[in-house]
Chain A
Amino acid sequence: MSDSWAKKKNANTTSMSRDIKIKKGLNIHLKGEAEKTLSKAPRAQVFALRPENFHLVTPKLTVKEGAKIKAGEVLFYDKNQESVQFVSPVSGTLKTIERGPKRVITQLVIEADAKDEFLAHKTLDVEKADGETIKAHLLASGCWPFIMQRPYHIIARVNKTPKAIFVSGYTTAPLAADLDFTLIGKEEELQTAITALSKLTSGAVHISVGRDSNSPLRAIKDCVVHNVSGPHPAGNVGVQIAQIDPVNKGEVVWTVAAQDLVVIGELLRTGKFNAERVVALSGSCLNAPQYYTTKIGSAVAPVIQEAQLAQTHSRVVSGDVLTGGTITHQGYLGFYDNTICVIPEGDDYEFFGWNKPVFDKVSTSRALTFSWLQPKKKYDLTTNTNGEHRAFVVTGNYEEVFPMDIYPLQTLKACMVKDLDQMEALGMYELAPEDFALTEFVCVSKQPHQRIIREGLDVMYNEIG
């Protein structure tokens, strides 16, 4: 094939709507899926912003303890890119700045007012505004951290223009909030945000929706809408990028989570940084799992109580059970999360757990594990590791659940030995830790895949940048 023809073909495939069918993967069906009813969560009295949600950000505080703050007011900025600011999701008083070892800020705790007082930004007509104006507006208003970039899966670097922007509107992760449901009624905000984003890239904004879904994202303009189908991780934006327009060396793409588009859209339309979002409260430890409207950084205790906690010996996860972070029952909703899962802790021994037939756990093998008999059955999985950490032994099982043209085992090993050339050659620029969540789930050797990838990306970022 001649190069010019190939180039043309490439150009076509990146700007046309496509049907993306994912075959490899694994749907993990868990008990405690959120029922599709929406209630307003009781307003929490305390909120917190946790800098650990923002990878590689070194926070520089702009407020002091005891300060009165409005919703949308800057709390800190990133020392490495000073124009990137992080704002308060709520109005109130900055109660404490909690620090960990080496005086690293762990969280900023805000005592909320009864009613939010918003910092007023100007509104923007995104149809007319140019890219620079929009960018400056997003930076000034604290919306920039919603934009993530690949390579490295970090907050977008301000000085780089992405070749494309990707949004996944398709949910496949276990117990995760269904975007088809949480985005209902947000069409205007979504449209505004997408139009704004479309001016920040040299290419297109790509949105993926479930093939048979009636997602509110389907009717959005100024973007390319793709239909995705298949098992998890088909809904992961990284898998979609790999299918639509993979990241090559030297290229940058941005990703924005669909629920964050709503905040961006509302800010541009009304001038208010409204941290409100629809969150799925799910997990088998809840009697009444359902959807709630709450806010970024909100303490989760009141809303968990609302959903009727059935088992106190349980783990609260901000995010889905494959990629989310552990928070305590007194914890706070993460900046990027639209799911809170409460699942049973599994810190108990199991007699002859390694050789007796297993009917109540999920497995991709059939080694006296019987989840293959009932692919639709819902499981009540605990946090038990089901075995001990070992060296890599089994091969070929990651590939079954890893739908990218990348060798997962070899990539992990390259990261572990910090072989930069090999990492680059194997395709690390395309990857985020979440892409290795399923391989981590099925890993017989119980290796921490997501951490290995995260550390690998950090090494690359520090060395190559």
Chain B
Amino acid sequence: MALKETLHNLKEKYKGQKMAPAFNAIHTFLYAPNETTHGGTHIKGADDLKRTMNTVIMALVPCLVFGMFNAGYQHYMAIGQGVAAGGDFFSTAFWNWDNLIFGAWKVLPLVAVSYIVGLTVEFIFAVIKGHEVEEGYLVTGMLVPLIVPVDIPLWMLSVAVIFGVVIGKEVFGGTGMNILNPALTIRAFLFFAYPTWMSGDKVWVAGAQERASQIAAGMELDSISGETILGSLAQNKAAGYDLWDMFLGFIPGSVGETSTILILIGGLFLVFTKIGSWRIMLSAVLGALVMGMMFNGVVDAGWIDSSSKFYRLMSTPFWVHLIIGGLAFGIVYMATDPVTASQTNRGKWIYGFLIGFISVLIRVFNPAYPEGVFLAILLMNVFAPTIDHYVIQANVKRRMNRLKVKNA
């Protein structure tokens, strides 16, 4: 094949030069390299990091596609031109060209900006530091557009991506070395740098922000309420959506986080392919349920009444927490990031459980920003090495005891 030889010759030509990593990144994207084993095992398993990352991306694609339709759907519903899908997952009121075209027009720029900005930073660092471009950003770049509000300005996203990739990852040494999940670092940067944008009720539905400024300018229009369910609950208002809508995903929220059913399918796919840790996913779900039950118990015991500002969220049935907000998305796609999670199997149980537990805790007690899952994951990212340390110490102790028993 001619292309193969041409690329091979180019690779040999650029070997050792400054731009080699950039060329190799593109080359290895097209062709798995011709490297052979030396020194250790003579044969190797089929999996490499690209394949692993690609599997996660495949699990994310349904969420992305759904997110595009949902962006259009939420927009048309808000301006009164849409028809409610009414709990039917295959409803043509949701899956239609209008929704897709509008949504794609909104969401694809987010994807493009995320990848172009992020990969540019990665390439620059790879060339400066002379290492290969590592695949971590393939997943991060896909996650980022899915966890931001649809109406986020693109410049804001660019700034956040640059911050997240540089401070969240490259300063630690790149893929595999980072302490915090880069996608969540980007999300956290957006939240803390532009709080009025990220926590208002205007960014979750495309067009709401624009409409609000038009009204402010004196135009006579109905304002769009684009509040998320968690936002409503945190203000002690009713959710305004029925449970099926929440489960299927016909609700406002970050682009890709709304459809619990697709996240569930993605999660099962990750578990089946053995790429995502079932331990983390399962224990995080358990953690969220336990915390939710405790809050339900507080309400049932009559310790707080409906005048409390926490009442709505506390009295939300414990399992409903799993289908609203970003909890499910965070558990499946973010908590399972192997670099920032606990690395021991036992540690994963503890790590996951605490993520679920703390997510619901923050969600209920932080009315300013009820979406606790990203803070919970970032917090546990920081504690993951500590958890592993104690898990490993147990193993070390067992070994020491073996010796003691013998010498006794």
Q: Which residues of A contact B (CB under 8 A)?
A: 3-4, 6-7, 10, 28, 30, 174, 246, 248-250, 315, 317, 321-324, 326, 341, 343, 345-355, 358, 361-369, 371, 381-397, 399, 405-407, 409-410, 425-427, 437, 440-446, 448-451
Contact = CB atoms under 8 A, between A and B. Distances in A.
B274 interface: yes
A385 B36 contact: yes
Given A351-B4, A399-B345, A341 B42 contact: yes
A372 to B, nearest CB: 9
B42 A385 contact: no
List 6 A-B pairs, minimum CB-CB distance, nearest first.
A387-B48, A353-B32, A391-B176, A354-B50, A361-B46, A349-B31
Given A343-B43, A345-B36, 12 more contacts: A174-B43, A317-B42, A365-B274, A371-B46, A384-B37, A385-B35, A386-B45, A390-B49, A391-B177, A407-B344, A410-B344, A446-B48
A326 to B, nearest CB: 7
A368 B40 contact: no
A267 B333 CA distance: 63
A5 to B, nearest CB: 10
B52 interface: yes
Given A385-B35, A388-B35, A410-B343, A7 B406 contact: yes
A366 B343 contact: no
A222 B396 CA distance: 34
A410 B249 CA distance: 41
A interface majority secondary structure: loop
Interface stretch (B70-78, B151-159, B212-220, B397-405): B397-405
Given A363-B46, A386-B46, A407-B344, A323 B176 contact: no
19 contacts: A3-B408, A315-B36, A326-B38, A348-B34, A349-B31, A350-B31, A351-B30, A354-B51, A361-B45, A369-B51, A387-B48, A388-B35, A391-B176, A393-B49, A394-B49, A394-B275, A399-B345, A405-B398, A450-B40
B55 interface: yes
B39 interface: yes
B5 to A, nearest CB: 9
B33 interface: yes
B43 A382 contact: yes
A3 B402 CA distance: 11
A199 to B, nearest CB: 23
B315 interface: no
B98 interface: no
A442 B405 CA distance: 36
Contact of A393 (B4, B176, B274): B176
Contacts of A10: 405-406
Contact of B405 (A3, A365, A440): A3
Nearest to B344: A407
Given A7-B405, A366-B273, A367-B55, A405 B395 contact: yes
